[in-house]
Amino acid sequence: MLIATLMIAGTSLLAQPDGYSPPDYDAAESWLCRPGREDACTIDLDTTIIDADGSMRVEGYEAAQDPGVDCFYVYPTVSNDLSGNSDMVANDEENRVIAAQFARFGEACRTFAPMYRQVTLTALRSMMAGQATDADGVTAYLDVHAAFAHYMEHDNNGRPYVLIGHSQGARMLEQLVARVVDGQPAQDTMLSAMLIGYNIAVPPSEPVGGAFQAVPRCEAADQTGCFIGYVSFRADAPPPAASRFGKLPDPAVEVACTNPADLAGNSDAPLEAYLATEGAFTSSEAAGPWVAGGDAVTTDFVRVPGLLTGQCLNNEHGSYYAISIHGDPADPRTDNIVGDVIANGVVLDDWGLHLLDVGIAQGDLIDLVSSQAAAFER
């Protein structure tokens, strides 16, 4: 059985922490999202489209009815629990990140999002300050592995699936892909692994290698069994010399960058961004008015056609997704977006637009799920 393969491959490479036992993924509360119920993914996702002339209209959201694809999501570092690893209780921060990054994928797929005992924001801040922490990344991974194994045994039934993760979530899924998907039967039905906001290592001129030996970078919208990876920075604020994203110490590899808006051509392509109306997260500043002198936006999300473009660059600054903002002071729409990571009033340049990694291209990523699903069916 595939479940046996997953468990053997996943646990043989990691020593389990003393006393580790997996969460109960039979329990409904161990999942933020599962099909067929009201949960963190079944929310109001209507969006205000704001054109350059300041005009607004609402784009209604509808989840797909009986889609043929599954999406399995692992969320980034969001927990404000005071311990090194989070508990299995969903708080506001977990629900907010589902709304911002994942629920909208329900227009293309069934949505699965497990809770897991992630390394917390509390622990991350301690580590950044050079302080000791008892955070345990192995426990976090083993939880994600157990959740995926449960999904494959109880829900997958041979269906095509997409893995989606951001930041810590992408790190968890990078390990999962390397251990239980790469070159194994599970790759045959994987449409793609969207490993966003994390440094995925690839050789500069080879289709595979680095993090994976059989899963290549996606290079076309109808390619399957591949991965999407990028770290985003403002085009006019590229990765600094000591950046945590976009650079790797090993000169034999570089950070993967695949342009979800133009996989084949990597032009500076318009982005179908979905941005939170009030701003990114608590680590950034609040959004200002979207239209000067205009009406207040009444939806939780906005789209700003023509404002953002993205292109993968590989240069002396690193390998990264360069986001250009095409504001026009002559029109009433905002000329900028918020999303930089800020600590004590200072923008942390080495994080880039990390908080917006998914949102800036969310529509393009969802379109990719649909095009890969169509290719898989042919």
For residue range 221-271, what is the model confidence (pLDDT) as tens digits? 999 999 999 999 999 999 999 999 999 999 999 999 999 999 999 999 999
Q: Distance (Å, rounded) from C-alpha 112 to C-alpha 141?
A: 17
For the chain, which ranges sit under pLDDT 70?
Answer: 1-14
What pTM did the predictor assign?
0.95
DSSP letter string, 198-245: S--EE-TT-SSBTTBSS-PBP-STT--SEEEEE-EEETTS---TT-SS
- pLDDT for position 284: 86
- pLDDT for position 132: 84
- pLDDT for position 16: 80
- pLDDT for position 4: 28
DSSP label of 111: E
Q: Are 239 and 246 in contact (CB under 8 A)?
A: yes
Cβ of 239: how many Cβ atoms within 10 Å? 24
Identify the bridge partners of residue 233 per DSSP, sorted by sequence position: 322
- pLDDT for position 12: 44
- pLDDT for position 220: 97
- pLDDT for position 281: 76
Residue with tokens 């491959």: 9
Q: Distance (Å, rounded) from C-alpha 195 to C-alpha 267?
A: 21
- pLDDT for position 341: 94
- pLDDT for position 5: 29
* Domain region containing 189: 2-377
Number of domains in the chain: 1
Helix (H, G, I), strand (E, B) or coil at 325: strand
